[in-house]
Amino acid sequence: MRHLKAGRKLNRNATHRLALMRNLARALFTHDRVITTLAKAKEARRFVEKLITLAKRGDLHARRLALAKLPDKAIIDKLFREIAPRFEDRAGGYTRVIKRHERRLGDGGETVFLELLKEGEMKVIMKTPEEPAAPRVSEDEAPATAGAGSEAAGEKP
């Protein structure tokens, strides 16, 4: 049973996974958008969103915790100064994963864009157009039409 075993191993050992997450986070904070595989993007999203939440706190302890997870002072400085204020009024969901049509050349893996949301941008949920509701009949009209129909039926036999 896999109870309480969250996360993907990505065919790597623990240190290699940590290095991969650090590199993806560094590239994402530098360029605001990266191309990677679907599984890596979903795992990097967890790592990146925790760093952004730390940066939103903005205190010294949060900066030291962020440096422990991503030891790159220039990127952490950019995270705290530029990226965190962008999401100040947002409660979570700072990244977006968009699937691409092109698959990876070597193994045909699904590729995606992993990107940070822009300032003030909201995730849009697509709704299917609903059919209009049936017209309602008011109470005044309902008895008149029912009575007229029964009288008409009574005259024709």
Residues contacting 47, CB < 8 A, separation 6+ = 21, 24, 25, 69
Report helix, strand and coil shares of the chain as percent, to nearest 5: 50, 15, 40
Contact (Cβ atoms closer than 8 angstroms) between residue 115 and residue 32: yes
The C-alpha atoms of residue 63 and residue 56 are separated, in whole angstroms, by 10
Tokens representing 69 are 């997870």
Domain spans, the chain: 14-122
Contact (Cβ atoms closer than 8 angstroms) between residue 112 and residue 35: yes
14-122 fold: 50s Ribosomal Protein L17; Chain: A, (3.90.1030)
The pTM (predicted TM-score) of the whole model is 0.75
Question: For 113-148, what is each residue's pLDDT tens digit?
Answer: 999 999 878 766 677 777 777 788 877 765 555 555
Share of the chain above pLDDT 70, in %: 87
